[in-house]
């Protein structure tokens, strides 16, 4: 798994980490307002949403390696469009294409891990997967700081383009890992979604709110950095420090997922997200912003692997790729909604109001996870379809 999944994920993360804090800044360079910049960054999330269900179909029929190769090429195309964009509209289109390609990458890695890792070890496996990518995401801003100083915010996108091509090549040239099941599926995306609509609507609500809490950081923190007078290089360093905390939490989070259950990790993570966003309006300096970014990084690290692990717990074996495509859609709708909410709220009020709104969403996510997430790790836990409203999804 190290060569087949973890190393390419780290390279992928380096590119994403270098580009993430630069996206709203480059949007501002192209003439966007603060509110518009938040909306433009959300195009990555919209791309994920549009790509999730087709990704399920693609992975179910081509397998993981070929799907990642296709996703890498499409992502490179989207990044070129974004880099060379003369207007904010073309820049948004490039981010949309890149987001759709990211859906294929994410799903292909998840289906592989589900197929080869026993249920009792899934928390650690998915936390390791996310941890390698987050290590790359942590390193990315430091790698990108020099290039950004030379080229400006667009330098982060150049790093992501190179990293994407390298990660795709690493996966493509490696032999098929032993134990990968044959790709056989005769289920349609629509039939899988309809069959599991109640499960997707309950557990999926918690996944949606976590996605919003995670993604809002990518637009809200850089925009707040502009508010307190930090330049692009300083913003990259702040993201890097927060990323270090995120990465350090990866392995402990996986152990706790398997030992104490999905709910015991998801609920505290969402409460910490809520606390971090509530504190942001009081951060009036670079030091204060760094403290908030570290708290949000800790929350993100604690939640490491939660959504992928819960999805793996409930995915039906004969419909795995299609179901996980739909499951990822619930989380990615939140990834899209978070930056959109930041942009929309800050456009009509002030940026601090967007932080307060995300804090409220964090509290709601904690409540949803307490209500529906399982209490004990798989395989001892059987996560089932939502029972009558007097029951919650819990250990069987």
DSSP 8-class letter at 42:
T
Burial of residue 229 (number of CB atoms within 10 Å: 0-12, 13-18, 19+): exposed
Local structure of residue 228 (DSSP, 8 states): T
Domains by residue range for the chain, with CATH: 2-174+190-372 (1.20.1250.20)
Vertex 51 angle, CA 46 and 57, to 5°: 160
Q: How far is CA 29 from CA 113, 124, 242, in A?
A: 40, 41, 25
User: What is the model's pLDDT at position 183?
Assistant: 47
Digit-coded pLDDT (tens) for 10-61: 999 999 888 988 888 888 888 888 778 878 887 887 888 898 888 888 888 8
pTM of the model: 0.75
- Greatest pairwise CA separation for the chain in angstroms: 60
pLDDT of residue 1: 65
pLDDT value at residue 173: 73
Of 327, 242, 333, the closest CA to residue 290 belongs to 242
Q: Which residues of 93-120 are buried (b: 16+ CB within 10 A; e: fewer)?
A: bbbbbbbbbbbbbbbbbbbbbbbbbebe
Residues of the chain with pLDDT under 70: 1-2, 4, 174-189, 375-396
Quote the DSSP letter at residue 376: S
What DSSP string runs through 323-344? HHHHHHHHHHHHHHHHHHHHHH
pLDDT on residue 395: 34
* pLDDT of the residue at 144: 81
Angle between helices 154-173 and 122-151 (to 10 degrees): 140
Q: Do residues 263 and 123 touch, judged by C-beta distance below 8 A?
A: no
């Amino acid at each position: 798994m190290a060569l087949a999944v973890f190393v390419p994920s780290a390279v992928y993360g380096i590119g994403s980490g270098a580009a993430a804090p630069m996206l709203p800044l480059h949007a501002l360079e192209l003439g966007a307002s603060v509110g518009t910049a938040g909306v433009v960054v959300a195009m990555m999330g919209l791309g994920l949403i549009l790509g999730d269900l087709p990704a399920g179909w693609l992975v179910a029929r081509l397998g993981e390696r070929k799907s990642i190769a296709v996703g890498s090429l499409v992502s490179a195309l989207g990044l070129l469009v974004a880099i060379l964009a003369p207007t904010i509209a073309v820049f948004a289109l490039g981010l949309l294409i890149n987001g759709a390609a990211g859906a294929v990458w994410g799903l292909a890695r998840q289906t592989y891990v589900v197929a080869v890792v026993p249920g009792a070890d899934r928390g650690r496996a998915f936390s390791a997967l996310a941890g390698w990518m987050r290590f790359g995401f942590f390193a990315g801003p430091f790698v990108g700081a020099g290039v950004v100083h030379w080229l400006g915010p667009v330098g982060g996108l150049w790093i992501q383009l190179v990293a994407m091509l390298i990660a795709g090549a690493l996966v493509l040239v490696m032999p098929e890992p032993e134990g990968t099941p044959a790709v056989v599926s005769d289920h349609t995306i629509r039939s899988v979604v309809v069959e599991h609509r109640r499960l997707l609507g309950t557990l999926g609500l918690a996944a949606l709110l976590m996605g919003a809490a995670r993604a809002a950081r990518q637009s809200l923190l850089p925009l707040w950095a502009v508010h307190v007078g930090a330049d692009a290089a300083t913003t990259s360093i702040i993201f890097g420090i927060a990323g270090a905390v995120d990465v350090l939490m990866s392995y402990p989070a996986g152990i706790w997922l398997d030992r104490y259950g999905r709910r015991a990790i998801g609920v505290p993570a969402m409460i910490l997200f809520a606390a971090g966003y509530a504190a942001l309006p009081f951060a009036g300096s670079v030091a204060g912003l760094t403290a908030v970014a570290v708290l949000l990084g800790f929350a993100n690290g604690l939640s490491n692997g939660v959504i992928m692990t819960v999805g793996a717990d409930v995915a039906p074996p004969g419909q795995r790729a299609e179901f996980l495509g739909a499951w990822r859609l619930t989380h990615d709708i939140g990834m899209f909604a978070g930056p959109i909410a930041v942009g929309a709220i800050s456009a009509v009020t002030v940026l601090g109001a967007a932080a307060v709104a995300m804090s409220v969403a964090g509290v709601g996510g904690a409540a949803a996870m307490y209500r529906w997430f399982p209490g004990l790790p798989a395989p001892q836990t059987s996560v089932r379809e939502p029972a009558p409203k007097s029951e919650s999804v819990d250990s069987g």
